[in-house]
């Protein structure tokens, strides 16, 4: 397992991209919409990890609801795993509360699943695996 990316909820992806481009002194490498999640994402490679900026595309989006409740900021930590199905099974058996019982398609060519913050000390944790 390794930290794959940190997800940051933002109100305006364009202005957030400008801010982080200046901060990191490099441009984002990808913008992608994930319609099923109601988000538009932008990715920055920072060392061995990535920063994912997430903007809601509708009011039903988890990102919209997050920003309404907590404001902009860190939304989740994502960890890359070798076998997401096995990790979901292992963590479920260990008593973690899962938001997704099976992986779904996410951004950046990944299969993803989330663990509920209630079982991870208030931190939303994403598991991700590169699609084959």
The pLDDT value given to residue 78 = 98
| Residues 96-131: b if buried by 16+ CB within 10 A, e if exposed | eeeebeebeebbbebbbbbbeeeeeeeebbbbbbee
Q: For the whole model, what pTM was predicted?
A: 0.93
The pLDDT value given to residue 1 = 84
- Paired with 9 in beta bridges are 54, 73
The pLDDT value given to residue 132 = 85
pLDDT digits (tens, 9 = 90+) for 22-65: 999 999 999 999 999 999 999 999 999 999 999 999 999 999 99
């Amino acid at each position: 397992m390794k930290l794959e990316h940190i997800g940051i909820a933002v109100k305006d992806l364009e202005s957030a991209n400008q801010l982080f481009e200046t901060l990191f002194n490099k441009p984002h490498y990808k913008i992608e919409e994930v319609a099923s999640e109601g988000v538009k994402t932008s990715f920055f490679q920072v060392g061995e990890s990535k920063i994912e900026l997430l903007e809601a595309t509708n009011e039903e989006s988890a990102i919209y609801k997050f920003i309404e409740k907590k404001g902009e900021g860190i939304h989740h930590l994502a960890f890359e795993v070798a076998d997401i199905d096995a990790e979901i099974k292992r963590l479920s058996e260990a008593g973690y509360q899962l938001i997704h019982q099976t992986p779904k398609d996410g951004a950046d060519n990944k299969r993803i699943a989330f663990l509920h913050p209630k079982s991870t000390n208030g931190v939303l944790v994403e598991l991700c695996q590169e699609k084959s």
